[in-house]
Structure 1
Amino acid sequence: MAAGTDNALLDGGRLLPLVEDFYTIQGEGYHAGKPAYFIRLGGCDVGCSWCDAKYTWNPKLYPPTDVGTVIDRATSCAARAIVITGGEPLIYPLGILTGELRRRGLEIFLETSGSHPFSGVFDWVCLSPKRRQPPLDDAYGRAHELKVIVESEADFEWAERNAARVGRHCRLYLQPEWSVSERVMPAIVEYVKARPEWNISIQTHKYMRIP
């Protein structure tokens, strides 16, 4: 459990530290371009230097929110897919949230570093492994999509190390770290051309100037 959270306060997952929730277009990975309702939870103990959501790291900034309120907002719009992200959402018990969303007929996608045990039910798991706190063994077998952030060519070896552990049907993506994307993109392009089992993920929502 992340610093500043308490199992009793979360009431078994009926309350969660909500940073924000909104309807937008998924910008990255396999589901890029798909309309989706995002549920972003606060709290992360991985702490990547290049993270573009550092404001989510401290869960104390986000008082526990009734998941029923979030579910009602999600189901009141046209979205047919839900993305649960963070921070690191697997810090928290997600069974109640995901179970009710599934009951209401929504697809549920998870974005995680895999560094905490799984809870909840998901139709799609995007595993984005981080060196500072690598995924637990169980995470690799659950991944439908492996998305590795690339800051430099040294990250290709890290990508291959993780790709060797996922299932054979898992989709493989390399995504340039946004602040150095122009510098590293040529190397990523050549790498993927030589190894076509990989794909390139681009943060298209930043070009669209949407959340």
Structure 2
Amino acid sequence: MADYKVNEVFESIQGEGAFTGVPSIFVRLQGCPVGCSWCDTKHTWTVDPEKQKSVEAVMAEQQESEHWFLLTPAQLISLFANKGYKAKHVILTGGEPCMYDLMPLTNALIEQGYSVQIETSGTFEVKAHAETWVTVSPKVNMQGGYEVLQQPLRIAKEIKHPVAMQKHIDELDQLLARGHHQSGVLVYLQPISQQKRATQLAVDTCIARNWRLSLQTHKFIGIE
């Protein structure tokens, strides 16, 4: 059975994209080489063996850290039950979750009646159950030097693109011009850091293209 390096697990409300407002269990996996400058989870980038701790120790932490624990899919599902989580939607995020083979984990979750969403940069192949909702937030020209791959775009149900300036819109146009995405894929623009200029650009572009606006609702209402 596969083991996964987990940075944190918590229950909250999804604040972004198509599932905004849906009660969700977030599973944040450790490790990401993409290197987005605006990333708000940089503590998940490095997998340091010295930072491994017990499940109990990491779950008891009250602030973000580089600590992680190792769990199998069955152990993770048991953790949900032990914590008394009620949500039936699980979001696999990171870090970059697709650094891992997510087929065993997504299979186990779906067999237990959960719906599953993956949030990925699109720079690694997605290995997951066919019913998984794949959200690609394409990261173009990041310091890690990784390219956005065709396979994640092809299976994505949702493309959620962070924008701060026009060049980010242009980058998305170039990705979509490749034609590797599904015809009915939902396209969201998400202003980086809720900047006023970025937000107006996103609003104007969404109206012009008939795309959708994604705001980080959880940050507005002060939840994790």
TM-score, normalised relative to structure 2: 0.83
Structural mapping, 1:21-32, within 5 Å: 21-32=9-20
Q: What letter matches 2:46 in structure 1?
A: N
Contact 2:7 2:28 in 1 (8 A): yes
Tell me which moved more, 201-210 or 184-193: 184-193
Contact 2:106 2:132 in 1 (8 A): no
Tell me which moved more, 150-159 or 37-46: 150-159
Q: Which residue of 1 aligns with 2:186?
A: 171
Q: Which runs of 5+ in 2 are unaligned?
A: 52-67
Shift of 1:63: 4.2
Secondary structure in 2 matching 1:154: helix
2:188 corresponds to 1:182: no
Shift of 1:162: 2.3
Secondary structure in 2 matching 1:120: coil
Q: Which residue of 2 aligns with 1:209?
A: 222
2:167 corresponds to 1:154: yes
- What CA deviation, in whole Å up to 9, does each residue of 1:106-153 have, x standing for no partner? 101110012112222143110011112232111111100001100212
- What CA deviation, in whole Å up to 9, does each residue of 1:13-51 have, x standing for no partner? 2x1110000110000011111111010001001010000
Secondary structure in 1 matching 2:166: coil
Secondary structure in 2 matching 1:36: strand
Q: Identity rate of aligned residues, in percent?
A: 34
**In 1, Cα distance between equivalents of 2:199 and 2:164:** 10
Partner residue of 2:136 out of 79, 103, 127: 127
Shift of 1:78: 1.0
**In 2, Cα distance between equivalents of 1:104 and 1:58:** 31
Q: What letter matches 2:12 in structure 1?
A: T
**In 1, Cα distance between equivalents of 2:147 and 2:15:** 24
**In 2, Cα distance between equivalents of 1:174 and 1:163:** 13
2:150 corresponds to 1:137: yes
Structural mapping, 1:1-211, within 5 Å: 13=2, 15-60=3-48, 61=51, 62-75=68-81, 76-121=84-129, 122-131=131-140, 132=142, 133-164=146-177, 165=179, 166-178=181-193, 181-196=195-210, 198-211=211-224
Q: What letter matches 2:201 in structure 1?
A: A
Q: What letter matches 2:5 in structure 1?
A: P
Q: What letter matches 2:90 in structure 1?
A: I
**In 1, Cα distance between equivalents of 2:176 and 2:25:** 28
Secondary structure in 2 matching 1:96: helix
RMSD: 1.5
Q: What letter matches 1:66 in structure 2?
A: T
**In 2, Cα distance between equivalents of 1:97 and 1:137:** 23
Q: What letter matches 1:65 in structure 2?
A: L
Q: What letter matches 1:20 in structure 2?
A: E
**In 2, Cα distance between equivalents of 1:80 and 1:28:** 17
TM-score, normalised relative to structure 1: 0.88
